[in-house]
Amino acid sequence: MQKLKALLGDGEITLQGLFRWGSNYTFLVNTRLGDQEVRAVYKPIRGEQPLWDFPSDTLAKREVAAYEVSEALG
């Protein structure tokens, strides 16, 4: 998991596409660090649209939390 975090946090991002039907800007990207590469979904903070049921500017934190809970639960 540490390698994946480094890859996602420090890797070079290359845009592959845009998901058009979401309420927020959402992109498919490749991220590469050294000889490792992985596809990922990228939701930039600047593209977040406010939602009535969540505080503003929290989408990125909620996405990270969802990932970490998923990893912890296997």
pLDDT in tens, the chain (74 residues): 678 888 888 999 999 999 988 778 899 999 999 999 999 998 888 888 888 888 888 888 888 899 889 989 99
- d(Cα 74, Cα 60) in Å, to the nearest integer? 21
pTM of full prediction above 0.75: no
The three-state secondary structure class of 39 is: strand
The three-state secondary structure class of 21 is: coil
For 53, the token pair is 């049921």
The three-state secondary structure class of 36 is: strand
